[in-house]
Amino acid sequence: MLDLSLAYHRYRFLGDEFLTWLWYLVETDQNAFRVVDPDCLTLEIGNRIVLENRRGKSIERITIKGDDAGLEEGKLALKKGALVTELAFIFKSGEHQWQFSLKGESLNVSSFKAPGPTLPQSSEEMEAFVLDKAQQFNKILSFLEILYKTFIQVRINAKWSSKITPAIKKWVAPVGHP
Amino acid sequence: MGLFSAAVSITRYRVDGKIENEVTETVAKGLKKNAISEIDEDTVEKGSGWTSFENPFQPAFEGSSFVYGNLFVFSLRVDRKSIPTKLLKKHVTLKTSKRLAKTRRHFLSKDEKETLREKVTAELAIRVPATPHIYDLVWDYEKSAVCFFSNLRSANEELETLFKRSFNLSLIRIFPYTAADLQSDLTDPERDILLGLSPTHFSN
């Protein structure tokens, strides 16, 4: 294995590309998420998108916040060469939903809200509470782990350049939208 | 911050290696040996160690108190004393004046100033109570996976050091490269392709 400190910086772009790819799937192929977790009704973009454009001399950072996060504005930034560095998601399953943000650079999860057990009222209820809570978190962490594994398999395949990248470019800037 | 919070942050780790035998007893031993000690009566400014998830102000790791089903659940506690800069400056100035008067000099050397500052900091540290910061941790031993409930860099670094010291096991942080290398079932040729990847540009 490479030196981890070097690898962290050298391959951070994989995390950013993973987020961009996820956003693309959210809008074009919800079925991909149901293949990973049959319980997934929908995966939606949440209320925060952070993008960075590192192609110029300085880094331009764009943060889009709010319940009606401006996805078009985000796509415009993508079109200008930015990458998604942080993205909020809503995972819906039945009547429940999980909300979380994922950071591309580190794959750290933040603002993670899971449905779930009410606070235990007694020490007897504690074990059930902990196991239930851990399971609720683990559902999303496993989901993300399998999605990332799928992304890596796609990313190292020749189809990434020949099919996926052109499809994402087309999604970012549809025909007729200069 | 952790399991009881409405919203949490999680950093994921892979545990490198296994405990050879008596897993629960070995973990309990590591937790007890590196449990948090109170520093309120001490001159130090920072203390860290393990504490109980259910009762973080009275750490106890007797029996299987940290075992929940197939998980080990406990917390990292970092106690910090924050001495206000202006308070420190006031006491350093007073002590400096006193020392100069006593030695009939006009200034102190660089080393003397540093020693005096350290002494004043230690004296104030006894009088300032420590603020506890608690971060929960869930360790799935069978899966060699740890979920640490914080993204703070300082807390993560503290965790990695303490975990190694307590259980003689290293934690590998999961980030884009390690997730690809450790969790994506890559063959050697695929790993070579991964190493050669460069960024994609999605703009036209």
Question: In whole angstroms, what is the distance from residue B74 CA to residue A119 CA?
Answer: 17
Average of per-residue pLDDT across B123-150: 93
Question: In whole angstroms, what is the distance from residue B145 CA to residue B138 CA?
Answer: 8
Q: Is the pLDDT of residue B172 over 90?
A: yes
Q: Is the pLDDT of residue B131 over 80?
A: yes
Closest CA to B42 of B125, B99, B158, B121: B125
Chain B residues within an 8 Å CB radius of A11: 176-177, 180, 197
Using pLDDT thresholds of 50, 70 and 90, give the confidence band for residue B3: confident
What's residue A59's pLDDT? 85
Tell me whether B176 touches chain A (CB under 8 Å).
yes
- Distance from the Cα of A85 to chain B's closest Cα (Å) equals 12
Chain B residues within an 8 Å CB radius of A2: 177, 195
Using pLDDT thresholds of 50, 70 and 90, give the confidence band for residue B128: confident
Using pLDDT thresholds of 50, 70 and 90, give the confidence band for residue B103: confident
B180-203: pLDDT as tens digits:
999 999 999 999 999 999 999 888
B59 alpha-carbon distance from chain centroid: 16
What's residue A121's pLDDT? 80
What's residue A69's pLDDT? 60
Tell me whether B188 touches chain A (CB under 8 Å).
no
A84-103: pLDDT as tens digits:
999 999 999 989 999 999 99
What's residue B124's pLDDT? 86
pLDDT, chain A, mean: 91
Looking at chain A, which residue has its C-alpha nearest residue B6? A113
In a domain, A175, yes or no: no
What's residue A118's pLDDT? 81
* B64 vs A34: which has the higher pLDDT: A34
Residues 6+ apart with CB under 8 A from B120: B88, B91, B92, B95
Answer whether A137 sits within 8 Å of B10, measured CB to CB.
yes
In a domain, A46, yes or no: yes
pTM assigned to the model: 0.89
Minimum-distance CB partner of B200 among A10, A17, A110: A17
Q: Is the interface score ipTM higher than 0.95?
A: no
Interface size, chain A vs chain B, as Cβ–Cβ contacts under 8 Å: 139
In a domain, A178, yes or no: no
Low-confidence ranges of chain A (pLDDT < 70): 68-69, 175-178
- Distance from the Cα of B80 to chain A's closest Cα (Å) equals 24
Mutate to test the interface with A, among B160, B200, B201, B204 (most CBs of A within 10 A): B200
Least confident of A120-124, B28-32, B60-64: A120-124
Average of per-residue pLDDT across B119-144: 92
* C-alpha torsion angle, residues A26, A76, A18, A10 (rounded to 10): 180
Single-letter amino acid code for the residue at B23: V
- Distance from the Cα of A3 to chain B's closest Cα (Å) equals 10
The count of domains in chain A is: 1
Residues B149, A108: contact at Cβ < 8 Å? no
Average of per-residue pLDDT across B123-138: 91
Looking at chain A, which residue has its C-alpha nearest residue B139? A134
Residues B128, B44: contact at Cβ < 8 Å? no
- Distance from the Cα of A54 to chain B's closest Cα (Å) equals 11
What's residue A68's pLDDT? 65
What's residue B107's pLDDT? 87
Residue found by looking up tokens 């809503």 in the block: A90
The domain of A56 spans 4-170
- Between helix A12-28 and helix B176-183 the angle, nearest 10°, is 80
What's residue B123's pLDDT? 86
Answer whether B177 sits within 8 Å of A83, measured CB to CB.
no
Answer whether A148 sits within 8 Å of B73, measured CB to CB.
no
Q: For chain B, what is the radius of gyration of the CA atoms?
A: 23
What percentage of chain B exceeds 70 in pLDDT?
99
C-beta pairs of A167-176 under 8 Å, 24+ apart in sequence:
A167/A24, A167/A28, A168/A20, A168/A21, A168/A24, A168/B202, A169/B202, A169/B203, A169/B204, A171/A24, A171/A27, A171/A28, A172/A75, A172/A78, A172/A79, A172/B202, A172/B203, A172/B204, A173/A75, A173/A79, A173/B204
Mutate to test the interface with B, among A2, A4, A8, A11 (most CBs of B within 10 A): A11
